[in-house]
Amino acid sequence: LAVFTRVEAVDDRVKAYVTMTKERALEQARSVDRQIKNGDKISPLAGIPVAIKDNMCIDGVRTTACSKILANFVPPYSATVVKRLDGAGATMLGKTNCDEFAMGSSTENSAFFVTRNPWDTERVPGGSSGGSAAVIAAGEAICSLGSDTGGSIRLPASFCGVVGLKPTYGAVSRYGLIAFASSLDQIGPFTRDVTDCAAMLNVICGHDPLDSTSASYNMPDYTGFLKNDVRGLKVGVPREYMAEGINPGVREVIEEALARLETLGAHVEYTTLPHTEYALSTYYLIAPAEASSNLARYDGVRYGYRAENADDVIDMFMKTRSEGFGSEVKRRIMLGTYALSAGYYDAYYLKALRVRTLIKQDFDRAFEKYDLLVSPVCPTTAFRIGEKTDDPLEMYLSDVCTISINLAGIPGMSIPCGFAQGMPVGLQLMGRHFDEGTLLRAAYTFE
């Protein structure tokens, strides 16, 4: 497997992998070899080297969510996506670095180390699935998986110049994904091109009885949408996503992409998603609220890290959680617990749920008129390592174009569409629920 030679050559500088699963990969590669020698039918991803974000479980392989609290956790089962990749013949290279419990936009919140952007190692790869994007950009894997709660696939895809897709909520099973915010989390692929993205969707999408929010729907063959034709496609550009704060270089690249869609026969016009200004506040109430509940299970009793020298059981809980969680995770637990507490629940959490519905309705209305919405993924390109670590609000602003998509549950995709100040710029495509096909169709014209 030549890809291991590549990992050995570059991962010292990129630092994308947390754990390698070389033995597993070699065993899988040997079994594909046997299939070929026996003349058996070859599986769709036979021998394709894949990597997954370290918040998805693999039976017998350390799975940490890049937190000290799970640093030695070895799950006794595999996530559904892992079983599907195995079934499709993929070879599993290893687990990639991410922000702790997927909370962050730069991969600087990992408890282990910072992953670097392969285009400029002084810059962040984006987050939270930064490792999964970096391995594709650096040639350390052919395909990878990330998870996206509020942009964590699309932002790193944009910063690293690769293709990343967050499927419709419910399209991919979350069984075996370490939960951050369960009503927003969704697993999706990173690839070099749109064709590989469609091939990955064919493997990972589809109903799973082990996830109660997994949808039963008529899953198409996603490769069927790879036709070079956007004639007649109605494309809306939400004005709010091209507003003041956008970097002029990024704006220019996005405008060129819009002009290109028009030249190819799509109808492009500006539109509005009026509740966009509330998206960040809504997300940063709902996501921490769900996180504070999901993270209650890390108490030092059931699994994971346990602090030593505790006086009694309450002291043990407190020491375990203070020592095991990093500062961003603690911040979210505090925000979420506050928003859910008696007396504040109605004013914050319930209000946020109502605004979430308004945001979803903005999209419903837009999709009555348009087949596709298009915007930048982020108002800027990849920022410098350390630039935003002292200011959480500044960091949260990187998510301004991506989080509404999770709140609405619709599919969103980032495709490379040019460079600004020498760094890649991602174009975001947003579609109707379960209409990943239209995203692929439009994305394919940029190949």
Which residues are annotated as catalytic? 53, 128, 152
426 binds ligand GLN, rule: CB under 6 A: no
Would you say 315 or 394 has its CB closer to ligand GLN? 394
Q: CB of 58 within 8 A of CB of 136?
A: no
Give the list of residues 6+ apart from residue 216 with CB closer than 8 angstroms, or none.
207
Amino acid at 158: S
Would you say 135 or 157 has its CB closer to ligand GLN? 157
Q: Is 386 left (phi over 0), alpha (psi -120 to 50) or beta?
A: left
Give the list of residues 6+ apart from residue 208 with CB closer than 8 angstroms, or none.
80, 173, 175, 214
CA-to-CA distance for 62 and 44, rounded, in angstroms? 27
132 binds ligand GLN, rule: CB under 6 A: no
Closest distance of CB 434 from ligand GLN, Å: 20
* Segment holding 122, helix H or strand E: none
Would you say 131 or 151 has its CB closer to ligand GLN? 151
149 binds ligand GLN, rule: CB under 6 A: yes
148 binds ligand GLN, rule: CB under 6 A: yes
What would the DSSP string read from start to end of 188-219?
A: EEEESSHHHHHHHHHHHBS--TT-TTPPP---
Most distant CA pair in the chain: distance in Å?
71
Q: 210-269: which residues touch ligand GLN (CB under 6 A)?
A: none
User: In this structure, what are the phi and psi dihedrals at residue 166, rounded to the nearest 5 degrees?
Assistant: -100, 115
Stretch that binds ligand GLN, among 102-110, 117-125, 232-240, 264-272 (CB under 6 A): 102-110
Q: Which of 125, 151, 188, 236 binds ligand GLN (CB under 6 A)?
A: 151
292 binds ligand GLN, rule: CB under 6 A: no
CA-to-CA distance for 405 and 127, rounded, in angstroms? 16
Helix, strand, coil share (%) of the chain residues, nearest 5: 45, 15, 40
Stretch that binds ligand GLN, among 96-104, 156-164, 237-245, 309-317 (CB under 6 A): 96-104
CA-to-CA distance for 140 and 122, rounded, in angstroms? 19
Q: CB of 423 within 8 A of CB of 381?
A: yes
Q: Which x/- pattern, by CB under 6 A, does the window 156-195 give for ligand GLN?
A: ------------------------x---------------
CA-to-CA distance for 140 and 50, rounded, in angstroms? 9
Closest distance of CB 18 from ligand GLN, Å: 16
Q: Coil, strand or helix: which one is 301?
A: coil
Q: Which of 287, 352, 408, 425 binds ligand GLN (CB under 6 A)?
A: 287
201 binds ligand GLN, rule: CB under 6 A: no
Stretch that binds ligand GLN, among 62-70, 145-153, 220-228, 430-438 (CB under 6 A): 145-153
Would you say 273 or 287 has its CB closer to ligand GLN? 287
N-term to C-term CA, the chain: 27
366 binds ligand GLN, rule: CB under 6 A: no
103 binds ligand GLN, rule: CB under 6 A: yes
Q: Coil, strand or helix: which one is 43?
A: coil
100 binds ligand GLN, rule: CB under 6 A: no
User: How many residues bind ligand GLN, per CB under 6 A?
Assistant: 13
- Give the nearest residue (CB) to ligand GLN: 152
Closest distance of CB 42 from ligand GLN, Å: 34
Would you say 55 or 445 has its CB closer to ligand GLN? 55
Closest distance of CB 260 from ligand GLN, Å: 28
Stretch that binds ligand GLN, among 19-27, 98-106, 354-362, 370-378 (CB under 6 A): 98-106
Would you say 151 or 416 has its CB closer to ligand GLN? 151
Would you say 126 or 300 has its CB closer to ligand GLN? 126
Sheet holding 187-191, edge to edge: 17-20, 91-96, 49-53, 143-147, 187-191, 163-166, 412-420, 423-430, 372-376, 234-238, 267-271
User: In this structure, what are the phi and psi dihedrals at residue 376, rounded to the nearest 5 degrees?
Assistant: -70, 160
Closest distance of CB 247 from ligand GLN, Å: 18
Residue ranges in contact with ligand GLN by CB under 6 A: 102-105, 128, 148-152, 180, 287, 399
